[in-house]
Structure 1
């Protein structure tokens, strides 16, 4: 017996991905090592996720920490992503967002502060030297 009859499912739930369905409610801190899709409601934090997708019917009241975050529903809390955040048309984000790349589609609602600091930036003494810097160091 097939679990899904619709062959047009845009989110694949293989490889240990987690789905919070439209009728599901979760309260507390959710640690997701893989991908997470929220179509239901979460009251609490989402941490350590690779990709977090908040679907059109999804509502998250709490902070999200992940690599990539796609929002089509509602988020009331801060979102921190190591790679990028996308707030799609019809979504609402009430809270601060922080990522190296941020995209707000026309029709998305965003209320908060935005920070686009590059993730894991190496200090100046650890950055690779340019050819000119290497030549100057040899001359000294």
Structure 2
């Protein structure tokens, strides 16, 4: 009757990527962040974020600014636009802004207010890696 493989238990592709930087709860950063790696944010950022690998916004995260990366997972709040290949809006996630994405998933309870664009480009047709091996392989191919 109930699906044992619920989406709550499903890990995202970013769960298999090495996190290079963590901005912990209670931290406030005013300014832009850019780089090659992946980041987890549990604090507050007032500025734009552009990272090549990925971005995880924890449940306590509050971002005011645009966000751009390969993979983005939103558990917290984002007030700004998103541009990425793969977007995961979790049940506690809230996005107030426009989204441009190749593919996305919204858990029950996740919210976004804005326009959604899924460009008719190559990235829309590429499938997201499903396992640790394929996620790492996809990242190696990008480098």
TM (norm. structure 1) is 0.71
CA distance in 2, matches of 1:66, 1:100: 12
Aligned residue for 2:91, secondary structure, equals: coil
Kept in 1, the 8 Å contact 2:100–2:118? The answer is yes
One of 100, 103, 115 as aligned partner of 1:101: 103
Shift of 1:48: 3.0
1:19 aligns with 2:22: yes
RMSD: 2.1
Note the 1:2-81 alignment, pairs <5 A: 17-81=20-84
Shift of 1:55: 0.2
Shift of 1:117: 1.3
TM (norm. structure 2) is 0.70
**Structure of greater Rg:** 1
Kept in 2, the 8 Å contact 1:45–1:64? The answer is yes
Higher RCO, Cα 8 Å, sep 6+: 2
Shift >2 Å, 4+ stretches:
118-121
Deviations 1:28-48 (A, max 9, x none): 110131001100000000013
Per the alignment, do residues 119 and 19 of structure 1 end up closer, same or farther by CA in structure 2, a change over 3 Å counting?
farther
Aligned residue for 2:53, secondary structure, equals: strand
Per the alignment, do residues 37 and 16 of structure 1 end up closer, same or farther by CA in structure 2, a change over 3 Å counting?
closer
Aligned residue for 1:22, secondary structure, equals: coil
Kept in 1, the 8 Å contact 2:63–2:79? The answer is yes
Kept in 2, the 8 Å contact 1:36–1:49? The answer is no
Kept in 1, the 8 Å contact 2:19–2:40? The answer is no
Number of corresponding residues: 109
